[in-house]
Structure 1
Amino acid sequence: MLVNSKEFTINGLRYIIRSAMEKDAKSLSEVRVQIDGETENLDREQGEAYIDESGFKQIIKEDSERVNNLFLVVEVHDRIVGFCRCEGNQLKRSSHKVDFGVCVLKDFWGYGIGKKFLEESIGWADENGIKKISLKVLETNNKAIKLYQKYGFEVEGSLKKDKLLSDGNFYNTILMGRLNPS
């Protein structure tokens, strides 16, 4: 599904959020590897489950053809610095819901990009009859958990000792969901 380009300025930073296009594939591959190396809040370590340019082209193509998928990017000075996806399911019993994921380069944290991605995704989901948005978040990512709760997400459970981080300790993954209020 395509979303119109929208421009935002927060804390002096101007950025654009828009639907991903095939021309973004190379940049997305590079950005994903960099982001994975900047935070332990994501599932992967740097370089794991690598998606190359052709892999991103395929994802973008499929997402643009499916009514219950959304792929957004954020640009700062014509450079992609993050992305988010809502990935639906083609099975009838699960076609009413999507899984949300987001990542932004660390240098661009604090500019409301994650919040805007979330707002755009929720608006898209509600407008397109998606009944539920699900996500997973590391238990230590309190800022993200509070943001999700502010937008109507509720804790639905946790996966105990789900992630082994670089400090050698295991951490829980929190499962959250937001039901479409209509």
Structure 2
Amino acid sequence: MSFSEELEFGHEDRKRIYEYVERHGAVDPDEAQERLRIDPGGFRHHVAILKRDGRLEEVEGKLRVTIDAGAEEEYATDGLEFHIRPARQEDLSGIVGAIRQVAEEKTYIVAESVADEIDHEDALLRHNELEARMFFVATVGDDVVGWVHLHAPELDKLSHTAELTVGVIEEYRGHGIGSHLLSRGLEWAASNGYEKVYNSVPSTNEDAIAFLEHHGWETEAVREDHYKLNGHYVDEVMMALEL
């Protein structure tokens, strides 16, 4: 099911169950049934239909929103082995940590706001009538070392565009992880009907601008003195890529 498809459920309780799971990321079925105050038989019936329709899945006893985002990929370069895969709810703290490590450099304000949002909501992925949010992660062992994030409003006038952020913590840069993450995110965006992705960074983040330009991104606009970093005004460079 594409993120851009309108969600129709056919029953109010079915819609409530989906929205509860979507809002919480991963939930225990019994807890959800009690919180929603739906009789057990009806709850099981609606969950079965949601599973049948490919909207929910149950993994290790937890209900989650079903998102078809491909398989895990394994890479090895310069003696480093890493994996790129769709993020899971359990990756939330690792993603927040990775983003905040990158954000400490004061060069990726948009990504920092993403970390604040998912940390506050305590839910990683989004798939509802108002927005779509997807993450892929790069892992070394059990640690999240990088991410690519896509966010799109489900509004007719903007449904063809998605905001993208991508980053790798400093000690794992130089191994191609960022390029693989970016490629995976763009592949997902294109397969889900998005026509354009955009990203905004401070003009002081020359490495990020060069990285995106190397992968075909172009500067669409510059907002002068948009950020104030360490007491200095800095331009915002607004970049985009047509898919």
TM range, normalised to the smaller chain?
Answer: 0.7 to 0.9
- The offset of 1:98, in angstroms, is 0.3
Structure 1 runs not aligned, ≥5 long: none
Which of the two has higher C-alpha Rg?
A: 2
- Summarize the Cα distance change of 1:63–1:82 in structure 2 as closer, same or farther, 3 Å threshold: farther
> TM-score, normalization: structure 1?
0.82
Given candidates 136, 153, 158, the residue that maps to 1:72 is: 136
Percent identical residues:
24
1:41 equivalent in alignment to 2:107: yes
1:59 equivalent in alignment to 2:59: no
1:19 equivalent in alignment to 2:86: yes
Counterpart of 1:172 in structure 2 is 235
Counterpart of 1:86 in structure 2 is 150
> TM-score, normalization: structure 2?
0.63
Question: Would you say the 8 A contact 1:155–1:176 is kept in 2?
Answer: yes
Measure, in 2, the Cα distance between the counterparts of 1:24 and 1:139: 30
Pick which of 26-35 and 90-99 moved more. Answer: 26-35
Bigger relative CO (Cα 8 Å, ≥ 6 apart) = 1
Letter in 1 for 2:108: L
Q: Secondary structure at the match of 1:59?
A: coil
Counterpart of 1:97 in structure 2 is 161
Q: How many residues align?
A: 176
- The offset of 1:68, in angstroms, is 5.2
- Summarize the Cα distance change of 1:66–1:18 in structure 2 as closer, same or farther, 3 Å threshold: farther
Measure, in 2, the Cα distance between the counterparts of 1:74 and 1:66: 27
Question: Would you say the 8 A contact 2:92–2:124 is kept in 1?
Answer: no
- Summarize the Cα distance change of 1:15–1:136 in structure 2 as closer, same or farther, 3 Å threshold: same
Counterpart of 2:36 in structure 1 is none
Counterpart of 2:223 in structure 1 is 159
Question: Would you say the 8 A contact 2:111–2:165 is kept in 1?
Answer: no
Alignment RMSD? 2.9
Measure, in 2, the Cα distance between the counterparts of 1:47 and 1:91: 21
Structure 2 runs not aligned, ≥5 long: 1-66
- Summarize the Cα distance change of 1:130–1:142 in structure 2 as closer, same or farther, 3 Å threshold: same
